[in-house]
Amino acid sequence: MNQFELNVSEVTGRAWELAKKHGLIIAVVIFVAGMISGGIQNMGFPWQSYFEAIAENDTDAMLAIAESAGGFSFLQILSSIITIVITAGIMNTVLSLTNGSLKSFDIAGFKMPVMNYVNYVVVNILLGIIIVIGCFLCIIPGIFLAVRLQFVGVHVLQHPEDGISGAFEKSWKMTKGNFWNLFLLGVLAVLICIGGLMCCCIGVYFAEAIIYFMFAVAYFTLANNTPDTPTDTVTESPAETTSETEGYTKSY
């Protein structure tokens, strides 16, 4: 059996169609999530005293305030965990919109068992550690591992029964033979983010929504074309999606 090759153009086109329908609400959710996370992170820092020290150009006072801000590091960690949890909910919602199990944005996308959230947090922490270790080995191994293991979080949301180790195994298997296509998709995602930042910075939230959909479409496409990978990830059977602008029919 020939190795399936991911078509970056098709993935991007499908993601754009989905983003035109659902991207605005997803962008708003991402913005609100960022505000919540940022607010928690800054909650424990005595900003007023710090700004007063800056105004007086008192370097010693600034250092003393920074060192005495007990709990600030804890709040940073808490903020990071909350961000990952919210990201899990957004990702699960995007997956449901992509496979058709949700027709429009719904809070139901966030209604998952607690263990789904826990596993998502754990796999992302493990993935981060693996990538950091890989980057210490001349950076290239870190990039390679990041590309090959990029679907561990998505898979643990879609198939929690596979567990954490199973999610790593499935991502590795799904991405086999598609490193360069997925790398190109990642470069394209960075360019989309840059384009969003150039749109008065606000556009970056819509850019993130597009990237979420790119990620979801790529996952389903690879999952449905990889032997031994569950094909029930897409609820519509068969699901035919017709592009209104390009006139082609695709199944996901």
Taking only the tens place, the pLDDT of each residue in 83-107 is 888 899 999 999 999 999 989 988 8
Inside any domain, residue 120: yes
Inside any domain, residue 52: no
> Mind giving me the DSSP string for 78-108?
HHHHHHHHHHHHHHHHHHHHHHTS-SS--GG
Inside any domain, residue 68: no
**Which tokens go with 32?**
């609100």
Inside any domain, residue 25: yes
The angle formed by the CA atoms of residues 1, 226 and 113, to the nearest 5 degrees, is 165
Inside any domain, residue 195: yes
Report the percentage of the chain scoring pLDDT > 70.
81
pTM of the entire structure? 0.78
Range of the domain at 240: 8-42+74-251
Q: How many CA atoms lie within 13 A of 9 on its CB side?
A: 2
Inside any domain, residue 32: yes
Region 180-198: mean pLDDT is: 92
- Domain total in the chain: 1
Greater confidence (117 vs 244) lies with 117
User: pLDDT per residue over 14-58, tens digit each?
Assistant: 999 999 999 999 999 999 888 887 777 666 666 677 677 788 777
